[in-house]
Structure 1
Amino acid sequence: MISSSFRYRVGIAGAGAFAEFLAGALAPLPSFHLAAVAGRTAEKRQRVIDAYRRRQPQAGDVREYREAEELIVDPHVDIVILTTPPHLHAPLAERALEEGKHVLLEKPGGLTAEALRANIQLAARQNRALAVNLVLRYHPLAEAVKQLIHRTLLGPVDYASLHNAVHRVADGHWFWDERQSGGILIEHGVHFFEVGRDWFGEAIEAHGFALRETNGTRPRVGATVIHQGNGRRIPVHYYHGFTMDPAASESTHWDIHTKRGRIVLEGWIPTQLSVSGLVSDEEAACMDAWLDAIPTKPSADAIEQLQQAADRLLPPTKPSAAPRRPYERTVVLSDRHGWYEAIAQARFLDFCRLIEHPNARTLVTAEDAAADLALAETCTVTGKAVDPLDIR
């Protein structure tokens, strides 16, 4: 995952803010060469190119196209990264795969799991790589939480919740048109469903809700999902609110309650992990060693470092009858932007690994993305849009 043997000519179709971020984040990677950008305005295309050249000042010309379809047929592009609105993901991915390109899709990868799975099948027939840009599992704090849960160092999980309160997207943006975005759970919530499925197991039951405002938008949505892993059912509540004033601080946190304690993960791009509960001396030493192993500097290979340390530092243990005492520990990772870039790099390098080794299993597979999207669809379909006059 940490390196690639090749230098890929990449075209980014869709020249919004995320494309600009991605061009800058991936620019330092030897495997990434920005060959082309497609966007509706010259100004947006130039911002993407400038973000790349700030990190690669010696880079040559980057070809510009107005339409994504023009970039897709460019014979000098090996990989197409699609950062367009979600309703364009499936048809453009299909076109790119038919042209023999490898495709990395911004989430969710399509408006329906059926459409995404059709492209997964097409990619297999074409011998091309296809992945969705779900990045949160590439963050070391997400891996740290996973191991604490799976090794039951604080006992089995009883309940968990995800609270995600963020700034309101401007009125008129395609985000509010569910024909283009699919709605919040599809466009945005799949990130967190992917983490939830990894931590707690597959969803066996799910229900959603959405609250409609007087302007017709549905900025507050949620879902209650019953996950099942290792025979244990775990209720998890997911909430997303795109309502906050731009001057207010956004708030995202996971709150996980176990038989003997609590795990709290703060930040959309995680920046703080807090662990508390009752543990034996042996369990405390094990958790201290594990938390000490978390890389503190942003790096594209951080997740791989931590995974390699897991079996050494967290050996399977049988339930202990030893006395337990209170335990509390917090890990803080600074440089949020640096970590965001690092996990984007890790996702891209994992995608390159899939290109070079088609039978390899990546950390987040296309099938994972389809399962996340199917869960988001279920919660969106079952969600009832409540009339504002009914809200008290």
Structure 2
Amino acid sequence: MISSSFCYRVGIAGAGAFAEFLAGALAPLPSFHLAAVAGRTDAKRQRVIDAYLRRKPQAGDVCEYHQAEELIADPHVDIVILTTPPHLHTPLARQALEEGKHVLLEKPGALAARELQANLELADRQNRALAVNLVLRYHPLAEAVKQLVRHAFMGAVDYASLHNAAHRVAKGHWFWEEQQSGGIFIEHGVHFFEVGRDWFGEAAEAQGFALTDPDGTRPRVGATVIHEQGGRRIPVHYYHGFTMNPAAPESTHWDVHTTRGRITLDGWIPMQLSVSGLVSTDEAASMDALLDAIPKQPSAHAIEQVRQAADRLLPSVPPSDAPRIPYERTVTLSDRHGWYEAIAQARFLDFCRLIENPNERGLVTLQDAIADLALAEACTAAETSSSAR
């Protein structure tokens, strides 16, 4: 994942907390120049600009717009990053593509997979890059899990689960208006469906549920998805609950069970990977080599080191009668904010590669984002019927 050799003039449309984070996170990249911000209030726009200038103080003036449409029409903007509420993603992306801009969408990218597909076809006609800001696969711990699963060092995966307990979003926020957000699976769950599809294969079946609170919101949702990989069917349960008191710690936890062990990954931004099971001495050596390659310091190029280590491993072999020994290993990272910035940078650099090389697919493709959104829609449709019974 090489760095871009160009500097792009970027406009961020939507001046909320994530836009503020993104402006600061991308500022150190030579390829990123914040040219414009669109937001409803002066204060919100200023917070985004300040986050950028703290990291790049000599960058110069940033244009300000009240409306996203005004920013999109600015001829000095090369890339539009859309961080608006999800129901605006489709029309604003369409306008930006028609204006000849490259577009990086905050997830989910649309409220329906068919809308995202239509904008993909428009991007192809316009010869412009279009991507969704799904970042978790750019994290080295997520890549390490993928390699552990792919090489089947502890046997095939039998079952997995994702538990995501988050702070409750304030009453009245657009998050609770499903016509604007799409609901939890569409607005939020696509991040984890992208990881699940990468680790376990495409979804063959999906069934969801939602629990409705007295105020009419549905803050707890779950789904069981049957993934298929290499002819093996893997049930994976996904749970999201936006119910936590703001003073309580949030938690995100993946649990992957194999025929001879277990893999756990902790953190919305993953910070700890634990592996335990029965392995041969050769398998133990390969697992050590893979886990030793995980960088300890945040880097936008971190997954390259994990992939290079995986490429050096011996090919997976069928189970043998070789003696097996207990194996247990934990990798813990620090600097959560630094890692969050690093994976945001990696996603942006990958997007720049799409602009510079039309034949480049990128790590997370728009076809991936469409599949994630289609799965989220299937789980949302199922949860709606389930909650009504």
Q: Does the TM-score normalized on the shorter chain lie above 0.5?
A: yes
Q: Which amino acid aligns with 1:304?
A: E
Q: Which amino acid aligns with 2:229?
A: G
Partner residue of 2:18?
A: 18
Q: Which amino acid aligns with 1:267?
A: G
1:385 CA displacement: 6.6
Report if aligned partners of 2:35, 2:63 keep a CA contact under 8 Å in 1: yes
- The separation in 2 between residues aligned to 1:237 and 1:358, in whole angstroms, is 36
Count how many residue pairs are aligned between Structure 1 and Structure 2.
Answer: 389
- Residue identity over aligned pairs, in percent, reads 80
RMSD: 1.1
Partner residue of 2:226?
A: 226
Q: Deviations over 1:126-167 (max 9, x none)?
A: 000000000000000000000000110110000000000010
Partner residue of 2:184?
A: 184
Report if aligned partners of 1:211, 1:385 keep a CA contact under 8 Å in 2: no
Partner residue of 2:34?
A: 34
1:316 CA displacement: 3.0
Q: SS in structure 1 opposite 2:180? A: helix
1:304 CA displacement: 1.7
Partner residue of 1:294?
A: 294
Partner residue of 2:384?
A: 384
- The separation in 1 between residues aligned to 2:310 and 2:89, in whole angstroms, is 36
Q: Deviations over 1:81-124 (max 9, x none)?
A: 00000000010000000000000000000000000000000000
Gap runs ≥5 in structure 2: none
Report if aligned partners of 2:152, 2:316 keep a CA contact under 8 Å in 1: no
Partner residue of 1:235?
A: 235
Partner residue of 1:201?
A: 201
Q: Which amino acid aligns with 1:216?
A: G
Q: SS in structure 1 opposite 2:321? A: coil
Q: Which amino acid aligns with 2:358?
A: P
Q: Deviations over 1:328-361 (max 9, x none)?
A: 0000011110000000000000000000001111
- The separation in 1 between residues aligned to 2:33 and 2:372, in whole angstroms, is 30
Spell out the pairing of 1:10-159 with structure 2 (5 A cutoff).
10-159=10-159
Report if aligned partners of 2:289, 2:309 keep a CA contact under 8 Å in 1: no
Q: TM-score, normalised by structure 1?
A: 0.98
Report if aligned partners of 1:163, 1:239 keep a CA contact under 8 Å in 2: yes
> Does the C-alpha gap of structure 1 residues 314 and 148 become closer, same or farther in structure 2, counting only changes over 3 Å?
farther
> Does the C-alpha gap of structure 1 residues 287 and 213 become closer, same or farther in structure 2, counting only changes over 3 Å?
same
Report if aligned partners of 1:218, 1:385 keep a CA contact under 8 Å in 2: no
Q: Is 1:280–2:293 an aligned residue pair? A: no
Partner residue of 1:251?
A: 251
Spell out the pairing of 1:297-336 with structure 2 (5 A cutoff).
297-336=297-336
- The separation in 1 between residues aligned to 2:85 and 2:377, in whole angstroms, is 17
Report if aligned partners of 2:20, 2:51 keep a CA contact under 8 Å in 1: yes
- The separation in 2 between residues aligned to 1:376 and 1:190, in whole angstroms, is 6
1:319 CA displacement: 2.5
- The separation in 2 between residues aligned to 1:161 and 1:203, in whole angstroms, is 14
Q: Deviations over 1:155-182 (max 9, x none)?
A: 0000000000010000000000000000
- The separation in 2 between residues aligned to 1:314 and 1:342, in whole angstroms, is 30
- The separation in 2 between residues aligned to 1:230 and 1:338, in whole angstroms, is 36
- The separation in 1 between residues aligned to 2:253 and 2:52, in whole angstroms, is 32
Partner residue of 1:271?
A: 271
Q: Which amino acid aligns with 1:76?
A: H
Report if aligned partners of 1:97, 1:128 keep a CA contact under 8 Å in 2: yes
Report if aligned partners of 1:290, 1:314 keep a CA contact under 8 Å in 2: no
